[in-house]
Structure 1
């Protein structure tokens, strides 16, 4: 397939998924496809290539629309029991999230293909694969405002991307069996549970919760005031596990192995990503972030920008094909994709313009990576969070250089803790200092007057901004005359 056909078909597929995610009816879709084909027939004037390209785009758009429209539409037998007390038997199909006074987990009832988000008492703790009988009021989730006066957060679609259609709060639960889930998933979840337990043993709060956000993307246990400080300081993106978080760990390991031949260094980085995914439970979020990190490593080795662009789009295509709802409703995927684009295409251009920044301690590379990722994700964060930090560049320059040390130190201490806590504590103590520094920076800069302001961006404005950015990047790379945008 030619480059033009590949990109047109892929982007048309993504567009179809997004349009379908907005719940637009099938009537306008069919009318639009028919109009597109008619325009192609008129404009082609007997030329085959424009007509075939338009037909390809129409088919790809329709395929994306229908893939999203049919996602999870297999019948909902529990709809008749919404608002009633229901007794369900089934299995715990996710790793429970532990809160201060409760636990939440995904429950797969035997009587329905849909899943139920159960909020239960903190104890007894349940595990993936436990067979339960739950009796409680079955409810449908509701959307809510993401922030006061802001747009409505589509909580219903957010849960639907995981197949969750109902909620049940504090039901009566009876345990009737264990180890009912997939054996591989049980092993991975057990590894993650052991990982988290050692982390909580070695690190105090809130440092332990911050490390959990960096390594696992789990920020729910962080105090609300700490999360707000990170938002106001423009640092909230590091609390969402993304390809960028995983990439900086891999790059740090690659630098540690820089004395080896280049191929071995790259291989060490790639292997570290795979091991990280397995050790932390290989959740869908971790796997997607790891794939994006591997794409960045590929960018450093690719001889042509064409190769890495195709790899990135192909990876995103298969992720969206598997679960189309992540394109519109999974912030981790969205941030991973955008940050990866920023590292590959924006950071090298920024590096050329940051000659005034010293190269000592790799500060120029860190600054370029910071600018690249911030440029890529800032419009999206304005749309998703409803606010923009005016000091984000400064705070990111102060914090991001320490993120790889925090992640590597935390991961290393936890790994050593599986052998001996006495060996792990010195490294855990040093890493805690780094984590405390990051929390302190966020707290101090969050108090700066007008550190952040309310600034919303509609979906339409977001699309216009990214189209303009894409056009500007294409023009900049053409002027640069280089075929390889190596990620800084």
Structure 2
């Protein structure tokens, strides 16, 4: 039985509104129960009247209740009265390093899981720490505070950490390793493989090309250096270094290609899901990576079960799953927001844009890259300008010049690191080829980024202009398409009628370039 899309999106809308409301204006449990009572009353009235508007109100309210309850549960989970009482004092905590250490030039950041909380520990960058280490840390306990960025925006650092499960920071900490993990099944072994590959890449590819290669392949951008990273920002290609959905798509496509030589479809799906999960863990489970990985997993499940993969449904389902896991992503994680908007832009805007780019040749995927870049830029610009405040004038041009080289650079970088573990002489040759491809990307970023007009700062403006901007985008899209919201007309995965004489109607934007789009 097909579910009405309006009902489905009313439920999702209520869920999102519930999370957003509680995040910005925390409500009490009696208020949540009152909303639940309203939903129950609406449901009872609907049973008698069968009025469709009441059905929408009912599912919206029930969705809101779920969102409110989930956010309330997360807020309760993050409450640490004992630690909060010690804020501003020197304390000693003991726990386990729960995430891969974030090593920087000036410090190392450790996410330490104690019995009651997850604490961000900042210490000097001289000692080597690993996931799973049992540590003792002594330092100044602080609550994170907002600060102003170089572009005049206020960055809510406390909210940013809250979306990562952290409410307390231990600064200037003296950290001692109490014990290490030797469990062969620990996630630490995945990080060992990552470090082994990273060391091999740095051995055969010189800097700064090696740093870019590690960014493309594993999302490590810290070795780029501030100056080069700024060039990538000014040219609008920083997303390839912080591991965007495009990079994830390339990695998963390569993995499935390898499995196709010796595994049947079901086997490819099983091992593909395991590989996707392992890769997501290795590169850090950022919002972008998690969203792309979930959508990739849904595609594999659709293939295994003989169902049609509809990318819009997969996007919204992935978003709901992520918010169920961590509701504070909605308001406090710009990566989640931009990733969702960029993907939605590719789904809805790309078909209309491509129709008007028929004069652009398809050589080397030029039209596809241009279409995707324009669609993504339009979709993220209102929020990006509000949150970040910098606009890249040359983003479309540089993306079209650089993106075709990214798959080759990633493949050569990975091959160099892998072969370097076994055949050093062959790795030296591959490393030279990888260096040349990476040099091309760096040169493009440096040349265009150095131009005075490459980017400019947009003065701060009120948030009300953001939804207004998206309203204008929606009106322009509707005028170009002259259609109803067909892309939202179906559920995520539908069963294929193998012998049916009538074919399922699937909107073009759901299937257009589905493989690259759903990862972006």
CA distance in 2, matches of 1:299, 1:356: 35
CA distance in 2, matches of 1:379, 1:304: 36
Shift of 1:94: 1.2
SS in 2 for 1:173: strand
CA distance in 2, matches of 1:222, 1:3: 45
Within the candidate set 465, 469, 484, 2:508 is matched to 484
CA distance in 1, matches of 2:391, 2:113: 39
Q: Is the 8 A contact 2:346 2:375 kept in 1?
A: yes
Where relative contact order (Cα < 8 A, 6+ residues apart) is larger, the structure is 2
Deviations 1:53-100 (A, max 9, x none): 202101212321332233142341111111111122211111111122
Equivalence for 1:58: 61
Within the candidate set 11, 14, 22, 2:13 is matched to 11
Alignment CA distance shift 1:282-1:182 (3 Å): farther
CA distance in 2, matches of 1:300, 1:341: 22
Shift of 1:288: 3.3
SS in 2 for 1:53: helix
Q: Is the 8 A contact 2:151 2:389 kept in 1?
A: no
Shift of 1:478: 5.8
Q: Is the 8 A contact 1:292 1:336 kept in 2?
A: no
Within the candidate set 178, 181, 189, 2:180 is matched to 178
CA distance in 2, matches of 1:161, 1:181: 29
Deviations 1:5-50 (A, max 9, x none): 1111012212222232324555997699599879979x98944332
**Gaps spanning 5+ residues in structure 1: where?**
none
The equivalences for 1:57-96 within 5 A come to: 57-74=60-77, 75-76=79-80, 77-96=82-101
SS in 2 for 1:244: helix
CA distance in 2, matches of 1:327, 1:199: 36
Equivalence for 2:454: 451
Within the candidate set 95, 111, 125, 1:106 is matched to 111
Equivalence for 2:375: 372
Deviations 1:154-211 (A, max 9, x none): 1111111222122222322222211188943222222222232223323322222222
Shift of 1:386: 0.8
Q: Is the 8 A contact 1:120 1:170 kept in 2?
A: yes
Deviates more, 1:165-174 or 1:129-138: 165-174
Deviations 1:408-460 (A, max 9, x none): 22222222223333222322221222222212212211232322122256443
Equivalence for 2:213: 211
Equivalence for 1:462: 466
Q: Is the 8 A contact 1:345 1:487 kept in 2?
A: no
Is 1:237 the equivalent of 2:239? yes
Is 1:327 the equivalent of 2:326? no
Q: Is the 8 A contact 1:383 1:457 kept in 2?
A: yes
Alignment CA distance shift 1:131-1:221 (3 Å): same
CA distance in 2, matches of 1:180, 1:86: 29
User: How many pairs were matched up?
Assistant: 479
Is 1:163 the equivalent of 2:168? no
SS in 1 for 2:177: strand
SS in 2 for 1:336: helix
Alignment CA distance shift 1:305-1:329 (3 Å): farther
Q: Is the 8 A contact 2:276 2:297 kept in 1?
A: no
**Gaps spanning 5+ residues in structure 2: where?**
487-505, 514-520
Shift of 1:336: 2.9
Equivalence for 2:490: none
Alignment CA distance shift 1:346-1:2 (3 Å): same
Equivalence for 1:134: 137
Shift of 1:347: 2.2
Alignment CA distance shift 1:392-1:297 (3 Å): farther
Shift of 1:248: 4.1
SS in 2 for 1:149: coil
Q: Is the 8 A contact 1:298 1:308 kept in 2?
A: no
SS in 2 for 1:116: strand
Shift of 1:296: 7.5
Equivalence for 2:499: none
Equivalence for 2:278: 278
The equivalences for 1:302-317 within 5 A come to: 307-317=310-320
Within the candidate set 191, 194, 219, 2:193 is matched to 191
Q: Is the 8 A contact 1:91 1:180 kept in 2?
A: no
Alignment CA distance shift 1:109-1:16 (3 Å): same
Deviates more, 1:314-323 or 1:139-148: 139-148
CA distance in 1, matches of 2:478, 2:127: 56
Is 1:384 the equivalent of 2:408? no
Alignment CA distance shift 1:168-1:177 (3 Å): same
Shift of 1:271: 6.6
SS in 2 for 1:68: helix
Deviations 1:263-289 (A, max 9, x none): 97x997997786365257163224433
TM-score (normalizing by structure 2)? 0.80
Q: Is the 8 A contact 2:298 2:314 kept in 1?
A: yes
Equivalence for 1:247: 249
The equivalences for 1:14-25 within 5 A come to: 14-23=16-25, 25=27
CA distance in 1, matches of 2:21, 2:61: 13
Alignment CA distance shift 1:117-1:226 (3 Å): same
TM-score (normalizing by structure 1)? 0.85
Alignment CA distance shift 1:138-1:339 (3 Å): same
Superposition CA RMSD, Å: 3.8
Deviations 1:121-141 (A, max 9, x none): 222201111111222221111
CA distance in 1, matches of 2:253, 2:463: 34
CA distance in 1, matches of 2:359, 2:302: 26
Is 1:424 the equivalent of 2:427? yes
